[in-house]
Amino acid sequence: MKILYFDTFSGISGDMILGAFINAGLSVDTLKEELKKVPISNYEIVTKELKRNSISATKVDVNILKHEHVHRNIQDINKIIDESDLNENIKNNSKKIFYKIAVAEAKVHNTEIEKVHFHEVGAIDSIVDIIGAAICIDLLKIEKIFSTPIKVGSGGFVKTQHGQIPIPAPATSEILIGYPSTIENIPYELTTPTGAAIVTTLSSGMMTGNEFNIERIGYGAGGIEIPNTPNLLRIFIGHSYSEFVNDDVILIETNIDDMNPQIYPFVIERVIQLGANDAYITPVIMKKGRPGILLSILAPKELSTKILEFIYLNTTTIGIRMLPVKREILKREEKEFETSLGKIKCKIVYLNDSNKIYPEFEDCKKISLEKNIPLIDVQRIVFSELNKK
């Protein structure tokens, strides 16, 4: 598994992330070509090599060619992303990062998410930073992201369109709720809302028990010199050689005893489509001896709000439990194989020096119906051919 590790010893920002990727060997020309797929213009990307405390690093600047006064909301941002020619993985990660910022800004300004105008974050440079970071992660085929605790400054102020605001910025503070962080007595904006949103949206948190071989190291420079501190972001890129992958998810549960049972398959299907890792129901005996159903859903933390809203709207429950859960899963990947019956998607699960392969049931079912072959025979033929491969 390919790992990206953010070492945020001096905070993290969007331009520092891009600089670190380029310093680690990612072609700036490739990044620029990918960004051309996004329907925005009026900017140029400039890179330069510099040293901070004698450490060589890359500084990335997104220069605006002609200043514009455009305030974009989350719908405008999503429209830009959806109309791009980027792949779905980059689009989804970019939209999740912007959504996290919108939620934080809405909380800070006591307004609805749809009414948040991004100002700085909606400006072209921040759009390039966020989408650019998602592009870099996709180009390098990163499968898992971790970080050190995020460092933020304190005791100073930063100038924004809202006037002087304290460091860390209120939006940054909101975004970092629930994520390991440390407050430094440094009166500079070490971590920006953009940097905080990228790492907290895409990262699985701290690296515990996941050892990996370091293959590349990159340093991205921040915009200012900080006394006694190298204003740099360091990234490590490598491959995990642990047998297992650990991540943190949310277990969402609710007991239901007054709903039409025909609705449960629909609910399970939809929450999986929303991005849940798993969903299932368990018969239970509730208070007063009434039979009921325990609905359980495992999902990434960032999807909990969306899934909760769906459950409240589509079931009869009036209360939900949420528990943080640590998962340990075997390494796996999905591949498509050509068989005598046609193309079959498969899941390959790795353990030690061996692996197990599992054909996608829906693909086998589709072939069974199309070719009028018993499903059990389809699976037998596919298993036999795949084992030979």
Q: Which single residue is written with the structure tokens 């919108």?
A: 102
Q: What are the CA-CA distances from residue 336 to residues 40, 275, 342, 381 (Å)?
A: 35, 22, 10, 16
Q: Could you tell me if residue 78 is inside a domain?
A: yes
Question: Are residue 129 and residue 271 in the same domain, yes or no?
Answer: no
Between CA 229 and CA 58 the distance in angstroms is 17
**33 domain-assigned:** yes
pLDDT score recorded for residue 352: 67
> With 60 as the cut, is the pLDDT of residue 134 above it?
yes
Q: Are residues 215 and 297 in the same domain?
A: no
Nearest CA to 135 among 18, 255, 7, 271?
18
Nearest in space to 207 (alpha carbons), one of 176, 231, 232, 238: 238
Average pLDDT over residues 59-69: 84
Ramachandran area for residue 141 (φ above 0: left; ψ -120 to 50: alpha; else beta): left
**Are 172 and 69 in the same domain?**
yes
Number of domains in the chain: 3
| Predicted confidence (pLDDT) at residue 385 exceeds the cutoff of 80 | yes
User: Mean pLDDT lowest for which of 158-162, 203-207, 246-250, 265-269?
Assistant: 158-162
Retrieve residue 170's tokens. Answer: 């209120």
Residues 177 and 261 in one domain: no
SS3 label, residue 73: coil
Choosing from 276, 294, 328, the residue where a domain stops is 328
* Same domain membership, residue 228 and residue 113: yes
Q: 333 lies in a domain? A: no
Provide mean pLDDT across the span 61-75.
81
- Residues contacting residue 165 through CB under 8 Å, at least 6 positions apart: 157, 158
Is residue 334 in a domain? no
Residue 147 resides in a domain: yes
Q: Which residues contact 137 (CB under 8 A, 6 or more apart)?
A: 4, 93, 145, 202
To which H or E segment does residue 19 belong? helix 14-23
pLDDT band of 213, cuts 50, 70, 90: confident
- Tell which wins on pLDDT, 95 or 123: 95
Cα–Cα distance for residue pair 336/312, rounded to 1 Å = 37
Q: Is the predicted pLDDT of residue 335 greater than 90, yes or no?
A: no
- 226 shares a domain with 158: yes
The answer to whether residues 123 and 86 belong to one domain is yes
Asked whether residue 188 is assigned to any structural domain, the reply reads yes
Type of residue numbered 224: I
Has residue 118 got a pLDDT over 70?
A: no
What pLDDT does residue 284 have? 95
Which of helix, strand or coil describes residue 123?
A: coil
Position 239 scores a pLDDT of: 86
> Token pair 């020309």 is at which residue?
29
In the block, which residue shows the tokens 């010199």? 225
Question: From CA 213, how far away is CA 234, in angstroms rounded?
Answer: 16
Sign of the dihedral through C-alpha 191, 195, 201, 206:
negative
Do 193 and 285 belong to one domain?
no
Identify whether residues 291 and 146 lie together within a single domain: no
- Please say if the pLDDT value at position 243 is more than 70: no
Boundary (domain end) residue, out of 242, 261, 287: 242
140 and 180 share one domain? yes
At 117, is the pLDDT very low, low, confident or very high (cuts 50, 70, 90)? low
CATH for 320: 3.30.70.1380
Examine residue 173 and state whether it is found in any structural domain, yes or no: yes
Domain membership flag for residue 179 = yes
Whole-number mean pLDDT of the chain?
A: 89
Phi/psi of residue 178, each to 5°?
Answer: 90, -5
Average pLDDT for residues 132-141, to the nearest whole number? 96
* DSSP per residue, 166-216: ESSPHHHHHHTTTS-EEE-S-SS--S-HHHHHHHHHH---S--S--EEEEE
The arithmetic mean of pLDDT across residues 28-37, rounded, is 96
Domain limits for position 190: 2-242
Amino acid at 368: S
pLDDT digits (tens, 9 = 90+) for 282-322: 999 998 888 999 999 999 888 889 999 999 999 999 999 99
Most confident of 28-37, 102-111, 150-159, 169-178: 28-37
Residues 53, 186: one domain? Answer: yes
Indicate the pLDDT class of residue 208, thresholds 50, 70 and 90. Answer: low
CB of 179 closer than 8 Å to CB of 202: no
310 and 210, same structural domain?
no
Helix 375-388 with 361-371: angle, nearest 10 deg: 120
Q: Is the pTM of this model over 0.75?
A: no
pLDDT, average across residues 234-255:
84
pLDDT score, position 245: 67
- Boundary of a domain, candidates 242, 259, 286: 242
Question: Could you give the residue ranges of the DSSP H alpha helices within 110-146?
Answer: 124-139
